[in-house]
Every structure is written in C-alpha cells, then in structure tokens.
Chains A and B, each alone.
Chain A
Amino acid sequence: MQNTIPTKTSAVSADYRSLEPTANQPAPVLEISKLTKQFGGLRAVGNFDLTVRQGALDGLIGPNGAGKTTVFNMISGLYAPTAGDILFYGENLVGMEPHEITQSGIGRTFQNIRLFPNLTVLANVLIGYHPHAGYGLFDGLLRNGRFGAKEREMTERAQDFLAIFGLEKYQHELAKNLPYGEQRRVEIARALASDPKLLLLDEPAAGMNPAEIGRLMEYIHFIRDRFNLTILLIEHQMRLVMNICEQITVMDFGEVIARGTAMEIQNDVRVIEAYLGRGAAGRQGVSM
C-alpha cells in the first residue's frame, strides 16, 4: 500500500504546489472549497470548505439533515456538485465518474450498509479488487496461468483483510446472512480492498453497542497506521468522534459552523446551539 502522489501536471496541480507542506504540516490529501449542492430550491450544502491532510483521522459531524452524507456523495461522485471544487492530491474530482474517483484512490462505506447481499463475504471483498485485478477478460475466459496467479494473489489478500477484521470464518457465507456489526466490518474490508489512499466512513458505528464501538475505534486506528490511510468519517456516536478524531468539522444546515479539536468543539457555542437549541449554550456544556 504505497502512498504515491499522482504527478499530473495541470493548471490545478500548479495551484496545488503552492500548498506544499510547510515545516510540520503534512501535504493536503483532500481540499474542498466552496462546495455547494442545490436540490431544486433546497440548498443541501453551501460553501463547504474542508482540508484533510496526509495521515489525518478527521471527523465530520452535525445534526441529522446537516448535509454530511451529501458531502460524501459529492466526494465519491455519486452527486454532481452545483458549484465548488474537490481537489484530491491536487486533481479536481468534479465531473469524474464515481468509478474513476474510486480508482484514483478514494474508498468509502455507506450509512445504510450497502454490501452485495447475495454474494459471499469473500466475493464482496474481491469485487473491491476488480479495478486492479491484474488480468483481463480474455485471461479469465481462457483461465490461463496469469488468471490463476492473479486470482490466487487476490484471494489471499482478501482473506488477509477478512482476517484483520476477524471475519475469515464467514468468508463463504452470503453477506446478507451476517450479523449487523459484522456486515459493517465487511464493508470496511471491501473498501480497503479497492486500495484507497483516502477512506470515507459514513457512520461506521451506527447501530453498534459500546463494546463494539470500542473495538471499532481500535480497528480504525489500526487500519490507518497499517495501510497509510487518511480517514474522514461521519459519526453520531460522540464517544467515538471525540476519542479518535483529530480535527472535527461541524455542519449545520449545509454549512460549516465550527472546526477544531474535540476540546474546542465541545465548548463552541454554535455547536452546542446546533445540537441542543438556542439558549442551551448558557446553561450547560454538551455532554458528548
């Protein structure tokens, strides 16, 4: 899992060079500026800005309907932004097809689990490998040596991922037959198989109990270090966000209302208002 920065020369990347890492700040992986999404008359996201730096583990939070998932959908290309730019290693993702964005190194999971329900867990992870399977259609049709070698290599790597998440015993089960928590982990394993540099996790802890959340936090730390990932996650479980996220961005009504460390966010008046309503800020700190 090498982190190679694409060396494309374009007008955009010239811009990007001016953002070369300063003495102690890693290079930005994702730079979103003035991102806007309009659904008819509804402005789901407006003037959204975000910079995620190499190796970061950042969080995106906000009340329901704040536009967090819409931001994710725009990053992964499922929605076309109304305006704004999304730079990934200096390359603008706006206008690219979702599969091209994934192939350029952005993996994601979904808020409502989206596994391939009638395929085995192993096949789910193997599909993540498809864009870099290393053999073509005709190798597959002829089932030649190249096919065998690549297929074996892929399967072994997929099993490694499953082992990391303690899922190897489920590998031949259909994905839909797995318990909820396991399905979430399969989804993360599948996203990792597409060899991302940036991983977007949409509410990875939804529906998990405290013990499972504890384990999930370990996994997230572990995969970031092991696969040199940069992670951006959306979460409602404040325990998880406040514990593991380095920089937290808070959205409300499609706009950024606060940004900072867990400590700063917890004491931000606007954040408390967004979550608890106006007037709440004066009475108490948020019990997050």
Chain B
Amino acid sequence: MELGFLLISMVKIAAILAYLYGVLWILGHQNRGIKIGGLIVAFGVIQALLLDFGGFQVLTDFDSGLLFQACTMTMVALGLNLIYGFNGQFSLAQWGFYGIGAYTAADITYRWGLGDARGLLIAGLGVILGGLMILAVRRLVRRYKGMPVLSQFTLYLIGSVMAGAVAVFIGNALNPGLAPLFGVSDAPGILASPVVMQIVFFLAVLIAGAFAAEVSFLFGLPVLTLGSDYFGIATLGFSIVIQTLMVNTDTLLPFPEMKGGRGMIGIPKLTTWFWAFLFLIAVIIIMRNLIYSSTGRAIMSVREDETAAKAMGIDVAFYKLFAFVVGSLFAGIGGGVYAHYIGFLSPGTFDFLVGFNPLIIVVFGGLGSMTGTIAASFGWIFFLEGLLRVLLGQMGTEAPTWRYVLYPIALLLLMLLRPQGLLGNVEWGFLKRPAIKLRDAAPTASVSK
C-alpha cells in the first residue's frame, strides 16, 4: 500500500511538473492561435480531470485541494521572489499581505451572499480613492524636494484615513438603495444571481490585491528606508501585527462576521479551476513582462548594487517600493483565490511561522528564477502535503509531524549541494528571456585608430 501510494505520488508530481512545463511552453509560443488554443486545452485537461463521472474522479477532492493550494502558493511566492529574489529586499511580510487579501476578499463576498453590498462598495471605493489619493499626494510630495520620509508617510496616512472615511460614508449611503435588488430568500433578486456572484468574486479578488498593495505602499514607504536586516525584522513585526488583528477581528476591529480567533466560516466557495488558472496565468504573465523590461532591469540593479544603481540614474527608493507593492499585489490576489476555495479562514493559517513557507519555496526554487518558484510551489505542496503527510499518516497518528524534520533536512542538503536553488537560473519556455529582433548587420562603430 505504502509503496504503491509512493509511486503514484511520484507520478503525480512528475505529471504536474510536465504540465507546468507544457503551460509555459504554450505561453511562450510565437503563434497567437496556438498560444490561446493551447491555454484552453491546458485549462480543459485539468478541468476534465476534476469532473465527476458518476462517482469516478481522476483528481480526488484531496488532489484538487493540493492543486488550488499550489496555485495560490505560486502567486504568493512569485510576489516574494520579485521582492526578495529580484529586488533583494528580505521580506517576511508576504504572508501578512496574503492574509489581508484573503480576509478582504472573503468579507466582500460573504456580505454579498447575505444581501449586504457594503463590503464591495466600501472596499471597492476605498481602494479606488486610496489609489487616487496616493497619486495626488505623490505629486504634492514631488513638488517639495527633500521632504523627510516620515512627513511623506504622515501625509499618505492622513489621505488614507480620509479616503477610507469617504468610502464608508458613500458605501453606507448607497447600500439601502441596492438592498431591494437582492430580493428575499424565496425570491432572489438580480444581485443574488450566480452570475453576479461570480462577477463580485472576480472584483473581490482584484480589490483584495489592490488593498494589499496599498497597505504595502503605506508600510513600505517608511520601512524600506531601513537597511536589509532591519527591514527583515520590521516585516516580521508587520506579519505579527496582522495576525494579531486577525485573531481579534471581532473585538479590536469592527468585523464580527470574521469571528476572530474562531475563524471565519461560511465564505462562499466560488474559486473554480477557471479562476485559479486565470489568476495564476495573469500573475505569471505580468511578472515575466515586468522582469524583461527596463523596469525589471532597474529592479534587479537595486539588488546588485544600490550605489551603482543610483549613479546610473535609478531612483532606488522608488523601485524598492514598487517591487514591494507589486509583490504584495500578487499575495493579495493569491489570498482572495485561496479564501474562496476552502470557504474557511483561520488566523492560524496566517501565523508568521507558516509565513516562512513562501520564503523557503523561493530559496528552494532559486532566487531570481521564476520557473524555480513555480515548480517549487507545486512540488512543495504535492510533496509535503500530498505525499509525506499521507505516507507518514499511515504509520501512526503522530507520524506526520516528522515531515517538519524531514523537509528542513532536505532543505539543508539542497543548500549545501545546490546553493543557487533547485533550478538555478534555468527558465522554461515563456519565462526565458525573450529575444529582441535586431538589425542584421554587425555593429559598425569601433575605435578608429
């Protein structure tokens, strides 16, 4: 039994890696028709495996659970790789932003499901106003050169509070007008229809990402001025603050529906393979296009040598903040997708100790390797949760705890044998550096002697 299970799990991991390779190859294909067709096929393959053919299902609920976990983990870890692997800022806050995204998105759809549009209205408006506020304050700050960072931060903070207050006011004012459209449980109105629910879910995930990004902007602005190690400690503090707030959502924060430490239950389970696949591919495409642009080179130059980057005309403070915000955006989106898959959020999930997982994945896959992060996220979940937990579970009830002995040992061995990470600098298909069409003739200029 154990041996058979081991073999099947190995085949599964190999199959999922082959699948990822295929998806990246398709994404990188020159022909647009093949690209789009291939993506539909790639989506369809898993979708078909997930279908229930009268009691027979290739991918069981357990497997699909792993799959969705791996997808969200990939988004979180890719974001962290942008911050740590490409920009060189050691951050432990990623897990906090993941949690912020999860709770934000969950609250929006949960309230919507109960016929309360305030979640969407307030969060949506708040995020939009917050974004506009940041742009406006940024323009103001630029006019006064040499303004201390803490003064800037204060301005942004005041702006955020004002934007939030306006959003709450407008949201509360608009909500009664929408209430009749939800109908009653016997006769659901138009807003309670499944289609609208899907749209709300989609918006909720985007809003969750944007909200996490805006929080990371506010947090990162002062904290990114710290040196690398101090920044790491500060981000650890952030993760702890976020988790403490989550435990006390019903007492410290005015969100009784989140139920504090008992965990938020009853979140509509709206995440389908379609949404997970869509968001995953979107994150991968954004990440890759960002890295292989001038902005990406600027981000990497900050990692390589801040002083030289400054001397090359690169605004180091801006690009640190930019990478941090985009990385948090990915984490927030991942959180939104995750929350609606299991339908239950517990603050324990967002404990800062668990927050080391994406960090380990990023290092495991290779800092600065997007393929490595994606492969390591899937491999990690399928190996640790899919294989080890079950395998050890069959040996005794306490045995699964051994995986926290086994995987650190595996990690130690990897660090000793392959310090550059599992895949090093290897990128697959779409994630390879795209070639730029150059003129045919060789460069003509040379020193005339």
Give A residues with C-beta under 8 Å from B: 76-78, 95-99, 102-103, 107-108, 110, 114-119, 123, 126-131, 133, 135, 137, 139-143, 147-148, 151-152, 154-156, 159-160, 162-164, 166, 168, 190-191, 194, 218-219, 222
Contact = CB atoms under 8 A, between A and B. Distances in A.
Nearest to B439: A156
A116 B300 contact: yes
A152 B436 CA distance: 6
Contacts of A127: 297-298, 301, 309, 312, 314
B311 A76 contact: yes
Contacts of A155: 436, 438
Given A95-B145, A119-B301, A127-B298, A110 B443 contact: no
Nearest to A102: B313
A36 B376 CA distance: 53
A119 B304 contact: yes
Contact of A194 (B298, B313, B444, B447): B313
Nearest to A176: B304
Given A95-B145, A127-B301, A131-B314, A147 B293 contact: yes
Nearest to A120: B433
Contact of B289 (A77, A141, A156, A194): A141
A55 B316 CA distance: 31
B357 interface: no
A114 B307 contact: yes
A97 B312 contact: no
Contact of A140 (B293, B311, B314): B293
A242 B436 CA distance: 44
Nearest to B368: A118
A99 B447 contact: no
B443 A160 contact: yes
B31 interface: no
B305 interface: yes
Given A99-B315, A137-B295, A147-B293, A115 B437 contact: no
Contact of B446 (A77, A154, A163): A163
B297 A123 contact: yes
A164 B446 contact: yes
B312 A159 contact: no
Interface residues of B, number: 37
B372 to A, nearest CB: 15
A142 B288 CA distance: 11
29 contacts: A77-B310, A78-B310, A78-B311, A95-B145, A96-B145, A97-B310, A97-B315, A99-B310, A108-B311, A116-B300, A116-B305, A116-B309, A119-B300, A127-B297, A128-B313, A130-B297, A130-B314, A131-B313, A133-B294, A137-B293, A137-B295, A141-B290, A151-B293, A152-B437, A152-B438, A154-B294, A163-B446, A166-B447, A194-B313
A119 B311 contact: no
Contacts of A162: 443
Contact of A148 (B315, B436, B446): B436
Given A114-B305, A151-B436, A99 B313 contact: yes
Nearest to A187: B308
A46 B447 CA distance: 40
B438 A156 contact: yes
A126 B311 CA distance: 14
Interface in B359-410: 368
B312 A128 contact: yes
Interface in B183-208: none
Contacts of A96: 145
Contacts of B438: 152, 155-156, 159
A116 B298 CA distance: 11
B324 to A, nearest CB: 15
A102 B315 CA distance: 10
B424 to A, nearest CB: 12
B286 interface: yes
B313 A219 contact: no
Most B C-beta atoms less than 10 A away, residue of A114, A160, A190: A114
A140 B294 contact: yes
Given A116-B304, A163-B446, 15 more contacts: A95-B145, A99-B310, A108-B311, A115-B304, A116-B305, A130-B313, A131-B312, A140-B290, A141-B293, A151-B436, A152-B438, A156-B443, A191-B311, A194-B312, A222-B448
A119 B289 contact: no
B143 interface: no
Given A78-B310, A137-B295, A140-B294, A222 B304 contact: no
Given A143-B289, A156-B439, A163-B446, A126 B297 contact: yes
A117 B304 contact: yes
B445 interface: yes
Contacts of B311: 76, 78, 98, 102, 107-108, 110, 114, 191
A272 to B, nearest CB: 34
Nearest to A142: B289
A288 B107 CA distance: 77
B436 A140 contact: no
A191 B286 CA distance: 30
B146 interface: yes
A118 B304 contact: yes
B449 interface: yes
Nearest to A147: B293
Interface in B325-375: 368
A147 B293 CA distance: 8
Contact of A218 (B444, B445, B447): B447
A110 B439 CA distance: 33
Contacts of B290: 137, 140-141
A164 to B, nearest CB: 6
Interface string B278-300: 00000000100110011111101
A222 B449 CA distance: 9
Contacts of B286: 141
Nearest to A221: B447
Contacts of B295: 137, 140
A273 B436 CA distance: 57
A234 to B, nearest CB: 15
Nearest to B300: A119
Given A114-B305, A143-B289, A98 B310 contact: yes
A98 B286 CA distance: 30
- Pairs of residues from A and B, 6 with the lowest C-beta to C-beta distance, nearest first: A140-B293, A102-B313, A116-B304, A98-B310, A114-B308, A131-B313
A279 B446 CA distance: 48
A78 B310 CA distance: 8
Contacts of A135: 293-294
A99 B318 CA distance: 11
B294 A218 contact: no
